[in-house]
Amino acid sequence: MTVWISNYAGHNYEPAAKYGEFKYITRGYQSFQSLDRVKYTIAEKVAETHEDDWLLISGRPLISILAALIWLQKHRQIKILHFDQKGGGVYRELTITSDNLVEMMNVIQGAHG
């Protein structure tokens, strides 16, 4: 398994090493002058991912959001690692599936419809 770090930002990612080898979707500063270029760069890396890999959220929120959306589009599920400073400096696991999101929206729309 691989842990894909959304944006290498110089943090200590070692607490997530038990989830797999580290690879980076982006590194350092990313210019948002050309959002299409950023999306393409992220999509190129997400294309290398496998369904059982993890996405570790790090760096600029927009990069993490785009990586998660593209990942979810590719695999229809995403396993996320999010750092929990208040919880002892560990990574928390979160799994989201496309089907679950659709089901949730159907329930919400039915309740408001």
**How many alpha carbons lie under 13 Å from residue 103 in its C-beta half-sphere?**
5
pLDDT of residue 83: 93
Residue 8 per-residue DSSP state: B
Tell how many helices (H) and how many strands (E) occur in the chain.
3, 5
CATH class name, domain 2-112: alpha beta
Distance (Å, rounded) from C-alpha 94 to C-alpha 54? 10
Name the token pair of 25: 């979707």
User: How does pLDDT run across 3-28, given as a tens digit for each residue?
Assistant: 999 999 888 999 999 999 999 999 87
Residue segments in the chain with a per-residue pLDDT below the cut of 50: none
Residue 27 per-residue DSSP state: B
Question: Helices 61-75 and 35-46 sit at what angle, rounded to 10 degrees?
Answer: 50
- Contact predicate 3/22, CB 8 Å: yes
